[in-house]
Structure 1
Amino acid sequence: MVEDPSAPRPPRAPGGTLRRGHLRVDTDGAVAVLTIDRPAKRNSMTHAMWAALPEVLAGPAGDPAVRVLVVTGAGASFCAGADIADLLGGPDPEDPMAALRRDNLAAQAALRDFPKPTIAMVRGHCIGGGVELATCCDLRITDPTGVFGITPAKVGIVYTPESTTALLDLVGPGMTKYLLFSGELVDAPTALRTGLVDRLVPAEDLEDDVHRLAAVLASRSALSQRATKEVVTALGAGRDAQAEAGRWYRETIAAGELAEGVAAFADRRPPRFPWRG
């Protein structure tokens, strides 16, 4: 059952932790970590979890202290996909997945449109909806235990255009068709070779590597990063990316970002970029 959106929300727990069912956000300085916390089910996403995700993401998205979001799973898996028990749970026999599909797409959009850099930290199973979540992130880093697959052909589901486009942008048409036609799983080296992930690191280094990268991203200009996200999106959508870039360039001057970056370079010191979005 989907959680009632009008129900009272749990308060932020001590230590910068916010819980909503099986979703948890831990904030430490400039980095927020969203953990899918259902390890007994390999972090499979229930309908309620998809429905809750946009609101969960709204917290770190609106927090000016948060500069980077890491998305991961509790335990040995990233996310084994949508909970299959929910696939036929809708009231319309002609389209029992209508509500689930709506909330799944809304969750993907919330993660894809997150205004700050996002990193998927993948270990173990990253299947179906797990791949959807990972491909909505800006960057994907895995260790050798990562196993990837998209299984709609195994259960008679049509993959949505939104999810197909995200996959196509990363791996191209041939690999997209292979993954969707076959539903077969691919290992971490194959995921790296085909562009499904950006980095493959030793298992013992995964968390340190991701958090090192997150710290680097947090030290850079948030305005430049926001501009990059919007220009890349505009290019992919065939919009006027030149206008988007021009608007953000003018903002770098108005906000003092460019002046601070140049001054810091000249003074040989870390920049203290003023823009917080």
Structure 2
Amino acid sequence: MEPQLSHQVTDSVATVVVRNPAKRNAMTAAMWRSLPPLLARLAADPAVRALVLTGEGATFCAGADIATLQGSTAEAQGLAVAAEEALAAFPKPTLAAVRGHCVGGGAQLAAACDLRLAEEGALFGVTPARLGIVYPASSTRRLVSLVGPATAKYLLFTAELIDAGRALRTGLVDEVLPEGELDKRVAELTRILVSRSQLTQAAAKEFADGRTDRDAHWADQALGSGDTAEGVAAFLERRQPRFTWTTAGRTPRGRRA
């Protein structure tokens, strides 16, 4: 099988799978390049309300496939950063489902997701110090925001791998599941995510990521959305809400949450 990113959309959840089994799902140059346009298409799809990123088989992603990243280190790093930033900017909730190795560029992608779930036995590492590479400033800041400066320095200085338990304690992952339970929990959590208000999620994502200039924008969106009235009505009527605001700022005709 040629290395590739595959995807499918089921029950409002887009699942993107990193496939390069011969190299533990390492990302080739072509795969890095293909991720931003793929994410743009999925972001524009009104049927998509959440996204899961995972790896094929027993490995999430072992980093970059160095053999395919010919040319300058800066050019190769630029591909990874562009993919990472596109994932971080995805306007709907994103979740990394991690088995096995999540290392280097794989950890970069996982950190760019909103949530990270891992199976017991997963291993995490941020490994540029093994190659003498300067880790990008944006990626370093994102890592620090997740785990704090002390753990970020440990990961970057040593390039050592940490297990899922330590990743959970430091905030690198949100939940650790027993072997065989990851898919079930991902399905359960994404069902919850797609049932909630996209208005709330989109605003919270921007605020949590440090945007400080969008208060008026989101106040206007809330006033015109109808989501608050629907949420209150559903609560009082003891039914599931039918939220209709989308990240496009409109409700497609015939759409139901």
TM-score class, shorter-chain normalisation, is over 0.9
The equivalent residue for 1:176 is 152
Are residue 245 (structure 1) and residue 215 (structure 2) matched?
A: yes
The equivalent residue for 2:76 is 100
State how far apart, in whole Å, the 1-side matches of 2:109 and 2:17 are: 12
Unaligned runs of 5+ in 2: 248-257
Residues 69-218 of structure 1 mapped to structure 2, 5 A cutoff: 69-87=51-69, 89-90=70-71, 96-218=72-194
Q: Which stretch shifts more, 100-109 or 110-119?
A: 100-109
Q: CA RMSD in A?
A: 1.3
- What is the CA deviation profile of residues 89-114 of structure 1, one whole-angstrom value per residue up to 9, with x for unaligned ones? 11xxxxx1232222211111110000
- What is the CA deviation profile of residues 121-168 of structure 1, one whole-angstrom value per residue up to 9, with x for unaligned ones? 000000000000000000000011210111111111110101111110
State how far apart, in whole Å, the 1-side matches of 2:148 and 2:137 are: 14
Instruction: Read off the aligned partner of 1:266 and give its amino acid letter.
Output: L
Q: Give 3-state SS (helix, strand or coil) of 2:59's partner.
A: coil
Instruction: Read off the aligned partner of 1:258 and give its amino acid letter.
Output: T
Q: Give 3-state SS (helix, strand or coil) of 1:204's partner.
A: coil
Give the TM-score normalised by structure 1: 0.86
State how far apart, in whole Å, the 2-side matches of 1:269 and 1:78 are: 38
* Partner of residue 33 from structure 2, selected from 29, 35, 51: 51
Unaligned runs of 5+ in 1: 1-19, 91-95
Give the TM-score normalised by structure 2: 0.92
State how far apart, in whole Å, the 2-side matches of 1:260 and 1:223 are: 12
State how far apart, in whole Å, the 1-side matches of 2:9 and 2:32 are: 21
The equivalent residue for 2:49 is 67
Q: Give 3-state SS (helix, strand or coil) of 2:54's partner.
A: strand
Q: Give 3-state SS (helix, strand or coil) of 1:34's partner.
A: strand
Instruction: Read off the aligned partner of 1:118 and give its amino acid letter.
Output: T
State how far apart, in whole Å, the 2-side matches of 1:155 and 1:244 are: 40
Instruction: Read off the aligned partner of 1:268 and give its amino acid letter.
Output: R
Q: Measure how far apart 1:21 and its partner are.
A: 5.5
State how far apart, in whole Å, the 1-side matches of 2:220 and 2:239 are: 24
Q: Give 3-state SS (helix, strand or coil) of 2:214's partner.
A: helix
State how far apart, in whole Å, the 2-side matches of 1:141 and 1:109 are: 20
CA contact (8 A) 2:3 2:28 kept: no
State how far apart, in whole Å, the 2-side matches of 1:149 and 1:109 are: 19
Are residue 258 (structure 1) and residue 228 (structure 2) matched?
A: yes
Number of residue-to-residue matches in the alignment: 246
Percent identity, please.
51
- What is the CA deviation profile of residues 189-226 of structure 1, one whole-angstrom value per residue up to 9, with x for unaligned ones? 01101111010011211001011000100000011100
